[in-house]
Chains A and B, each alone.
Chain A
Amino acid sequence: MAGGGTPDSVGDLARERERFEREAAEVSSRDAWEALRLRWVGRKQGVVRALLAAIKEVPVEQKREYGQVVNLLKRRVESRLEELEGELERAERQAAIGAAAVDVTLPGRRPALGSLHPVSIVTQEIVEIFSAMGYSVAEGPEVEEDYYNFQALNFPPDHPARDTQDTFFVEGGKLLRTHTSPVQVRTMLEREEPPIRVICPGRAYRFDNDLRHSPMFHQVECLVVDKGITLGHLKGTLEAFVRKLFRPETGVRLRPSYFPFTEPSAEVDITCPFCSGDGCRTCSDTGWMEILGSGMVDPRVLAECGFDPEIYSGFAFGLGLDRVAMIRFDIPNIRVLFENDERLLRQVRG
């Protein structure tokens, strides 16, 4: 057989098949595949079609075998073309993937967010705890009058308890408030009548500067005044509060103490948040950590602020926010809190 002419024997068919296999093996593109398809099974000049047509020239005794072999060839061509098409598709997909591929292990670009100060974060947590209980936030000036910082809080002039307050004075007779308690006084004086339920977060100042004390620090105070407020209410509120701020299983202990503006007064200890009360270095193996001062509002303070202590009672407590922030974020000393090192600040998660 020559020039794609009509084969005349089964032997020729075998050569045709070999030719197909060679041509198929060389296909590496869609175009080549299409050319192969047209050449072998195209409707017009397809080799297979021509071979089938040639059956009439095949001697009678060979017709049956010839027909079978051509049909076999036809099926082979079709299946091989299908197979080749699949291979081509896979190769194309592979090529496409290769073009878009990235190293997904490269670092992502994080949005350049900033951060809130640890003290702001704990302040806000505390505000939220009390807001949910119906409290509002009261604020006041930091340069304060003696009256609001001391006298109205039952610290008469020359009272020894003033010694513990390490006051910064400013020229002109005022002082830097030594606690946020003057805000309580201002609130009581502004209000016509109870109920009062406020918290007073803010900065305060004392003449003190070491690893545990900063001359400026932050406090939050709480004040409740109404008819029928009890020492049990103070205890219950403290427990609810510290169990939200620290862990739900935090233990609370009230120790009677003395502050001029509350009576009775109590220091409040919680089970050490580091060792859960087992005893560790931070709590000097006591299992307890003193975190706040509290008490029932002294009747002299109520009277000074215009509320009859025969009718009304109240409780108050104050908490150092810097200390809480240090516990929460494991900050080693208070100076670190006000150095404003961005490397530290930006680690803080709210």
Chain B
Amino acid sequence: MDFSRDWIGQYVELPAVDELAAGLTEVGLTVEGSTESDGDVLLDVDVTTNRPDCMCHLGLAREVAVRFDKMLRVPSIQLAEVNEPAADAVEVALADGGGCPRYVARVVRGVKVGPSPGWLRTALESIGQRSINNIVDITNFVLWESGQPVHAFDLAKIEGAEIVVRRAEEGEKLTTLDGEERRLDPEILVIADAARAVALAGIMGGLDSEVGERTTDVLIECAHFDPTVVRKGAGRLAMHTDASHRFERGADPEAPKWAAARVAGLIAEMAGGEILAGAVDQRSEHYPAPLAGRLDLGRLEAFGGVEIPREEVVRILTGLGFELAPDGESAWQVAVPSWRYHDMKFTRADGAVYEADLFEEALRHVGFENIPSALPPVEKPDSGSSAPHEQRQRIRSYLAACGLAETINYAFHAAADDGSFGIWAEGEPIRVANPLSELYDVMRRSLLVGLVDSAWFNIRRGAEAVRLFESGHLFPAAGAPELETVGLVMGGARGMPWQRRTELDLFDLKGCVEGLAAHFGVSVEARVADPPGVVAGTGATVHVAGRLEVVGWMGRLELDTPYPVFGAELEVGALAEGERFSTVSAPSRHPAVAVDLTLTHAADLPWREIESAITSAGVENLTSFGLKDRYEGEGVPSGAVNTTIYFVYNAEDRSLTQDEVNSRQRALTEKLEARFGWRQA
């Protein structure tokens, strides 16, 4: 928001502009930039939403006065009023006292509408406001001076000379000052006369009742409107004005009276006319109650971690408009200025403002740069568990060690891609009600949607291989708990011939999944299945060994890629079940004996069966075995495959003799041959 340095300077003595900007920034009014123009300097101040009182020059001047320890000069108002009371000229009724806790009206008769004097035009133009006529300019000036929005009606156009603040009727129409005809509804608060709506309360005036060249009698409106009512009304009409901006953030309920007088005084001075006596000042039962709280210097110092002289606290708070009454040795009862009511209205249960509200005021003017740094004492570590994070970190490190690059994809994607992969969907996906575009309108139920996008991104750029993973949340259904999984994609050929090129296949991928599980002390197995998006005959569900529950899936993905791409996804919860710490068994000190066996068997015999037959045979001193190689082709009958298995025998306490090993291996071989050996059909 832009403010004029010279205008602020009307109310307080200013330092050089750099110092001014730094000072404002230090107290929480960040000056984001400054531009010189015609000898003045325009300051771009980031006024936070809790400080509508600083969205005006006087408000900024107050902060400057405290920051630089100067006097604040609030303009004094001396009105020459005529005898006729304003109350005889206009009636005000608050039909919606919730929406309008206060309405102040003043009347100036016999004005001459015309151009504004030079200083007023300059002031407004300095902050980018257009001059319209003296009356309108004065209302605008007072808004930018005090933060109180003001509206001026042509009193002659106010039917029955009465003002009613009420909700609009369904379908009621009003043409606003910008020339737009607006269709209203009861969500919107209006200012009406005896016949019709004449203004949108707190947002914009009506065209019919605006002050024009022929206006002689002016009705000045300075009201206090409820922030939520204005916010909802402006939202409904998609309008945003200087007035609504301030009301939505909580205006000063005491300001209307001062502002109305200020406007009346300026009108009389610049446009002539007679100010009727007094103001019509209506308050509803919703008018905010005064706020106060207790400030204890000791507690302030303990909270800030800084010593503050007693008189400095008094100077700062008094300068900011708080009223302090001593309450004990070094404590005060503090009355909050009305322009801060909104900010501090959520009080303690007993109605007192939170002391932190007051601490903040003192500390930001003490200056955060003057607060000594310290580390909080640590008596013992936090009682929470970081286990899920640590597990995720180990997963990432392991998969990176496996050669995969970690990716991060958006957690939402196009609805059309929902269901293309994954096994965790339950019913309908969670839809984003206001998506960025239809490309991002449902929450993911498989990490593979994003990973496949990433794989494509790389393949289109000529990647000869893709090896990617991601860990993240899935959103199986509305109301269902989020599920954390890790997803993998792999495919292509890795490395140049010099690097010993590897064609990546399903078993490279499966090895990563098995290895990952084993890294956590969990053994997983694949069972033939047909998960979505997987080429028939290549799919599997993943299970913790021997258990029924599905914890993942894998397979060759059904994609039109230049080389086969394989995918897998695993619930990370399955990894939490293993032993966190691994133990080892010392290898025998005696030599081991290795034996190979080549078994010719039907090609459709699963390895799993051979494996479990060997395990269940319980061969003595057989310490390990595994797949050495597979061969199909010349010399192997069609429909069969040669599986070469390695066996390692070792005894804990002695060297095994070749004869011992041979006889055990022979018995095992006979068993396997008898059960699985190839017989010509």
Contact = CB atoms under 8 A, between A and B. Distances in A.
Do A and B actually bind? yes
**In the complex, which range does the number of interface residues on chain A fall in?**
35 or more
A232 interface: yes
B494 interface: yes
Interface stretch (B3-11, B406-414, B661-669): B406-414
Contact of B406 (A115, A160, A164, A343): A115
B83 interface: no
Contacts of A28: none
A252 B51 CA distance: 25
B410 A216 contact: yes
A299 interface: yes
B359 A141 contact: no
A142 interface: yes
Nearest to A203: B411
Interface stretch (B22-30, B97-105, B576-584): B22-30
B290 interface: no
Interface string B368-407: 1101111110111111111011100100110111111111
Given A117-B406, A230-B302, A230-B303, A171 B430 contact: yes
B482 interface: yes
Nearest to B407: A340
B597 to A, nearest CB: 32
A345 interface: yes
Interface in A172-224: 172, 174, 176, 187, 191, 195-198, 201, 203, 205, 207, 209, 215-216, 224
Contacts of A258: 28, 48-51
Contacts of A303: 348
B49 A114 contact: no
Interface string A245-271: 000000001111110000110110000
A182 B407 CA distance: 25
A231 B356 contact: no
A298 B347 CA distance: 12
B475 interface: yes
Given A207-B436, A296-B356, A256 B27 contact: yes
Contacts of B500: 109
B434 A342 contact: no
Given A195-B379, A215-B410, A257-B48, A343 B478 contact: no
Interface stretch (A1-9, A32-40, A86-94, A130-138): A130-138
* A contact patch SS: mixed
B382 A196 contact: yes
A231 B304 contact: yes
Interface stretch (B106-114, B453-461, B558-566, B587-595): B453-461
A71 interface: no
A120 interface: yes
B400 A115 contact: yes
B384 A138 contact: yes
A46 interface: no
A76 to B, nearest CB: 55
Contact of B458 (A176, A216, A342): A342
B437 to A, nearest CB: 9
Contacts of A161: 49-50
B384 A116 contact: no
Interface string A112-130: 1111110110001001000
Interface string B286-328: 0000000000000000111110000000000000000000000
Contact of A116 (B371, B397, B473): B397
A233 B377 CA distance: 9
Interface stretch (B165-173, B201-209, B463-471, B534-542): B463-471
Interface in A147-180: 154, 156, 158, 160-161, 164, 168-172, 174, 176
A134 B518 CA distance: 30
A341 interface: yes
Contact of A338 (B382, B400, B408): B408
A85 interface: no
A143 interface: yes
A246 to B, nearest CB: 16
Nearest to B245: A160
A196 B411 CA distance: 30
Interface stretch (A53-61, A96-104, A235-243): A235-243
Contacts of A156: 346
B479 interface: yes
Nearest to A215: B436
B436 A137 contact: no
26 contacts: A109-B500, A113-B403, A114-B401, A117-B406, A135-B382, A136-B381, A137-B388, A141-B482, A158-B227, A169-B432, A171-B430, A171-B433, A191-B383, A196-B382, A197-B382, A198-B384, A224-B376, A228-B302, A230-B302, A232-B373, A236-B374, A253-B369, A255-B368, A263-B360, A296-B356, A345-B407
Given A168-B435, A169-B433, 10 more contacts: A114-B400, A114-B469, A171-B433, A207-B434, A230-B376, A231-B303, A231-B363, A232-B374, A256-B28, A345-B405
Interface of B: 25-28, 30, 48-51, 227-228, 231-232, 248-249, 302-306, 346, 348, 354-357, 359-360, 363-364, 368-369, 371-376, 378-386, 388-390, 393, 396-397, 399-412, 430-436, 440, 443, 454, 457-458, 461, 463, 466-469, 472-473, 475, 478-479, 481-482, 494-495, 498-500
